[in-house]
Chains A and B, each alone.
Chain A
């Protein structure tokens, strides 16, 4: 299914950071939503700022958000806990169109539905195995997976374990 761009994407001033702070707040809100919707649609778990530059431009109307604008959008996403930087240089970030807690719950529900409690499964099985191809968390970035599983550990629903160089998790 084709991604549906919001109306703002065709609205030229959307790509100019608005001087009126009230309007800017609405603008950033629309950008946050656009970034999250776009990543959800394309199953992007890790956003590379350089590579995703096309998200911040619309060639059809020849407009693009300035670097400062992009930074503001990312700052705003960070403020709302919708992204988390992977590196100090701020080149990549995890995008939380679902936050780790929500992912944890989703994975836990999957595991208990499949009767996988009290068994150990590897990270690979959980994100790339044949059985999970139709699950929303298929292809999930490992650092995000760990964050999700840690939320389950905190409530004693799972335990991350290492065995023979492999990483896995045991659900309770």
Chain B
């Protein structure tokens, strides 16, 4: 029987590939080793800095923000770093994880009322209420909360931050604890409704210059998402947002388990 053609060539090719691969790994290893050395040096410096300013970082929200910003500008995320390092050294990781867990708890506890949309201001109020009375438990900034929420992204698209005006005003930032994106139109409507906690087709038409169909469409979507409630007893149908409804903010305390 005739020998099949090509087997030898294929075999040869495979051997060559193998060799290339070996070389590539070798090169990569070298680069990796260099990187590791550099990282090691950098880490040591950062560690020294961090442990020197440990208390400051833990206690002072403003300093904490600066430290975070510094880390961010050099491409290091202290929260994403290896598990042991930061939590052992600073407790910073724990600090944010703790806030993140409490954020989830507050959002879950309030979502039956607000359809999963809460202002940063209310969230912070409730967090402070829920946390211990000690001074360092109390001092959490909006920045801390936002950072903690951003960490929640790794768990999936469940939590998102919606900025209404692009400012740092706490009532203009909404935390959304239900999956899915808010469209630009939805955000516009929320923005328009924020001050009074309700809006209507007529009001939207005049502020946003939209036509009836578009206004109604977006309002109906917000109803469907459970974010808005409709009131049919006013001269014109109005759409209300529990998230902005003020009496709700001072409503009875929502009891959370104490922090560890």
B224 and A16 contacting across the interface, CB-CB below 8 Å = no
Q: Which residue of B lies closest to A5 (CB)?
A: B247
Q: State whether A23 touches B223 (Cβ < 8 A).
A: yes
B interface: dominant SS: mixed
The count of chain A contact residues (Cβ–Cβ below 8 Å) is: 19
Tell me if A130 counts as interface (CB < 8 A to partner B): no
User: What is the CA–CA distance of A20 and B234 in the complex, to the nearest angstrom?
Assistant: 19
CA distance A15 to B232 in the complex (A): 9
Q: Give min CB distance, A75 to chain B, whole Å.
A: 20
CB atoms of A22 and B226 under 8 A apart: yes
- A91 near B: Cβ within 8 Å? no
Partner of B229, one of A7, A10, A11, A64: A11
Give the segment of B79-87, B125-133, B237-245 that binds chain A: B237-245
Give A4's nearest chain B residue, CB to CB.
B252
Asked whether A26 and B230 contact (CB < 8 A) given A7-B251, A12-B240, the answer is no
CA gap between A14 and B238 in the complex, in Å: 12
Interface check A105, CB cutoff 8 A:
no
Determine the distance from Cα of A15 to Cα of B229 in the docked complex, in whole angstroms.
10
A26→B223 CA distance, assembly (Å): 13
Q: Which chain B residues border A27 with CB–CB below 8 Å?
A: 229
Given A7-B247, A7-B248, A12 and B226 contact (CB-CB distance below 8 Å): no
Q: Check: B22 CB closer than 8 A to any chain A CB.
A: no
Contact B115 A16 (CB under 8 A): no
B242, A19: Cβ atoms under 8 Å?
no
In the complex, A39 Cα to B251 Cα: how many Å? 21
CB-contacts of B180-223 with A (<8 A): 198, 223
CA distance A156 to B251 in the complex (A): 45
Which residue of A10, A13, A26 contacts B231 across the interface (Cβ within 8 Å)? A13
Cβ contact within 8 Å between A16 and B233: yes
Residue from A10, A15, A19, A26 in contact with B247 in the complex, judged by beta carbons closer than 8 Å: A10
A16, B233: Cα distance in complex, Å: 7
CA distance A26 to B226 in the complex (A): 10
Hey, what's the 0/1 contact readout for A1-44 against B, CB within 8 Å counting as 1? 00000010011111110111011001101000000000000000
Cα(A65)–Cα(B254), bound, Å: 28
Per-residue 0/1 for A63-101: is the Cβ within 8 Å of any B Cβ (1 yes, 0 no)? 110000000000000000000000000000000000000
Q: Is the pair A11, B226 in contact by a Cβ cutoff of 8 Å?
A: no
Contacts A7-B247, A13-B240; A18 near B229 (Cβ below 8 A): yes
B112 contacts chain A at the CB level, 8 A cutoff: yes
What are 16 of the A-B contact pairs (CB < 8 Å)?
A7-B245, A11-B245, A11-B248, A12-B198, A12-B234, A16-B231, A18-B223, A18-B229, A18-B230, A22-B226, A23-B223, A23-B226, A23-B229, A26-B113, A27-B229, A63-B233
